[in-house]
């Protein structure tokens, strides 16, 4: 055995070994400092988890008609992708079950995003077997830290360093810059180490247990795609387990005015860089037009 989990996809590699400590409240804390990834176990209590599930279905009752669809609820500020700004007329009050843990979120303690808390919340229900295609969240419009709280059931998240394929997709003509890279509704073919004939980096799966909080910064936020494979069962510690309904709260902070932009180390999947490339091409076209007149 070379560290491979029986039944795991052969091209998946185990996640790098994390730095493991405990939080001040005694919960397991796993960190992958090189890529800016943190996983805090038992971030919420089972009682809080139950309250969240009840509150979610008070708004979106489960019925058999949409039992197989992902359900989303949005709270806080709404970002208007046509004006590139906050639509102040659309603010949905943030439910108390989110407000209750907001002060416990680990926020930056230094740097330009010091103390910054999320102000946009997407709560989602994934029926058993549902997934989300691998994608990179838009860089320029949101603060660096992305938070994802899992509850109801655990699920493995797939991470992979983005490559040529994602860069090419982001530069397709007519593509909306705001759409997450790869999230075109079409599952990315991940067999072997090639996608559409283009070599990709190996992927690794990280189990996100129920009640855990994932925080993505740095490379894991800007350079890696993350997604969830649609499948009915997962292999956890060598045992096949059925996937139950899983809920998540994705939390972001919206950038305003001059904050919008990005100078990350991953220009291939950076929407700010793509916009600069388009503007440079447009300037060149205008110069050429003037010269031929």
Q: Which parts of this chain interact with Zn ion (CB under 5 A)?
A: 139, 262, 264, 270
> How far is residue 68's CA from residue 152's CA, in Å, rounded to a whole number?
16
Closest distance of CB 74 from Zn ion, Å = 24
> How far is residue 219's CA from residue 225's CA, in Å, rounded to a whole number?
10
Closest distance of CB 221 from Zn ion, Å = 9
> How far is residue 91's CA from residue 83's CA, in Å, rounded to a whole number?
16
91 or 275: whose CB is closer to Zn ion? 275
Judging by DSSP bridges, how do beta strands 120-126 and 246-252 pair with one another? antiparallel
Closest distance of CB 214 from Zn ion, Å = 20
13 or 264: whose CB is closer to Zn ion? 264
81 or 101: whose CB is closer to Zn ion? 81
Strand partners, 31: 19, 38
Closest distance of CB 32 from Zn ion, Å = 20
H helices of the chain, in order, are 46-59, 96-102, 164-170, 218-222, 271-292
Closest distance of CB 264 from Zn ion, Å = 3
Closest distance of CB 97 from Zn ion, Å = 32
139 or 217: whose CB is closer to Zn ion? 139
3-state helix, strand, coil in the chain (%, to 5): 25, 30, 45
Please say whether the dihedral angle defined by the alpha carbons of residues 231, 237, 240 and 245, taken in this order, is positive or negative.
Answer: negative
66 or 279: whose CB is closer to Zn ion? 279
Closest distance of CB 261 from Zn ion, Å = 8
Residue 39 Cα distances to 11, 69, 131, 146, 207, angstroms: 23, 27, 20, 12, 10
Give 192's Cβ-side CA count (13 Å radius): 6
29 or 136: whose CB is closer to Zn ion? 136
126 or 266: whose CB is closer to Zn ion? 266
Tokens of 133: 């295609």
């Amino acid at each position: 055995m070379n560290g491979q989990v029986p039944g795991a996809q052969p091209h998946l590699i185990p996640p790098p070994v994390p730095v493991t400590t405990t939080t001040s409240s005694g919960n397991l804390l796993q960190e992958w400092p090189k890529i800016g990834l943190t996983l805090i176990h038992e971030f919420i209590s089972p009682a809080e988890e139950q309250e969240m599930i009840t509150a979610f279905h008070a708004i979106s009752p489960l019925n058999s008609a949409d039992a197989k669809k992902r359900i989303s609820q949005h709270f806080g500020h709404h970002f208007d992708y046509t004006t590139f700004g906050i639509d102040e007329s659309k603010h949905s009050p943030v439910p108390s079950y989110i407000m209750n843990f907001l002060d416990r979120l680990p926020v930056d303690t230094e740097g330009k995003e010091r103390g910054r808390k999320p102000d946009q919340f997407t709560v989602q229900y994934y029926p058993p077997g549902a997934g989300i295609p691998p994608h990179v969240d838009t860089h320029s419009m949101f603060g660096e830290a992305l938070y994802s709280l899992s509850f109801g059931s655990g699920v493995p998240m797939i991470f992979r360093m983005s490559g040529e394929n994602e860069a090419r997709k982001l530069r397709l003509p007519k593509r909306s810059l705001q759409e997450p890279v790869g999230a075109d509704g079409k599952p990315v073919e991940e067999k072997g180490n090639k996608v559409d004939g283009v070599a990709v980096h190996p992927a690794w799966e990280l189990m996100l247990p129920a009640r855990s909080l994932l925080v993505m910064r740095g490379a894991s936020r800007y350079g890696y795609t993350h997604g969830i494979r649609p499948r009915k069962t997962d292999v956890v510690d060598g045992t096949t387990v059925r996937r139950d309904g899983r809920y998540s709260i994705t939390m972001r902070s919206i950038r305003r005015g001059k904050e919008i932009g990005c100078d990350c180390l991953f220009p291939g999947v950076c929407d700010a860089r793509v916009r600069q490339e388009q503007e440079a091409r447009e300037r060149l076209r205008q110069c050429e037009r003037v010269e031929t007149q």
